[in-house]
Amino acid sequence: MAKAMTISYEVGNNLYLNLTNKCPCACTFCIRNHADGAYGSDPLWLEHEPTMDEIKADLDKRELTKYDEIVFCGYGEPTERLYDIVEVAKYLREKGCRKLRINTNGLGEVINGSSGSTAKLLSETMDVISVSLNAPTEKEYMEVTRPKFDNAFNMMCVFVRDCVQIGKAEVIVSIVDVIPQEQIDASRELAEKLGAKLRIRTFDD
């Protein structure tokens, strides 16, 4: 497992931020099981979690306003560093960045021991909140996502619903096309019930 300090990496005309390798899930399809990086990036396994000074120094090397989106997504769950995300997002806004997105497993509430505050913070900070739905039922979700929290599926759904109700950010739930078609159809129904848009990702997307 190669380790480096790849804090930011480009994917198309987006910039992705890799701030942590911590994650409470062990998804069966996770790219971390197959490679050290994504989309041709340098290794995304971090030598250590970057400090705010290191993050800002890395961002200052970039022409930040040229990107369509800046995405909080790397080899870990971004909300493991929830309050640092908020600080980095504020810094990016000050630099004139147009659109911020977070790709999350939706378990920030239980990760941080909060109740409603994670949805509020992210809704006020991000333009797009994309949540990994992964499967339409608790049984299928637990089998595919393998979280360390027993009530993870319900917590994820509550988080999505809370973000939708707050109404400040676009809310998307995503699945990967490796699941059966009937699960894809059921995921679409669940997304509609939660009030979120559904995104179907290809395995290597």
Q: pLDDT (tens digit, 9 = 90+) per residue, 118-172?
A: 999 999 999 999 999 999 999 999 999 999 999 999 999 999 999 999 999 999 9
pLDDT of amino acid 135: 94
Count of Cβ atoms closer than 10 Å to residue 96 Cβ = 8
CB 13 within 8 A of CB 67: yes
Asked if 70 and 128 touch (Cβ cutoff 8 Å), the reply is: no
- β-partners of residue 176 are 201
Predicted pLDDT at 73? 94
Model confidence pLDDT, tens digit, residues 5-18: 899 999 999 999 99
pTM equals 0.93
Name which of 150, 168, 169, 159 is nearest 194 in CA terms: 159
Q: Assign domain 8-201 to its CATH superfamily.
A: Aldolase class I (3.20.20.70)
Helix ranges restricted to H, the chain: 52-59, 82-94, 108-111, 117-125, 138-145, 152-166, 181-194
End-to-end alpha-carbon separation of the chain, Å? 22
Domain ranges of the chain: 8-201
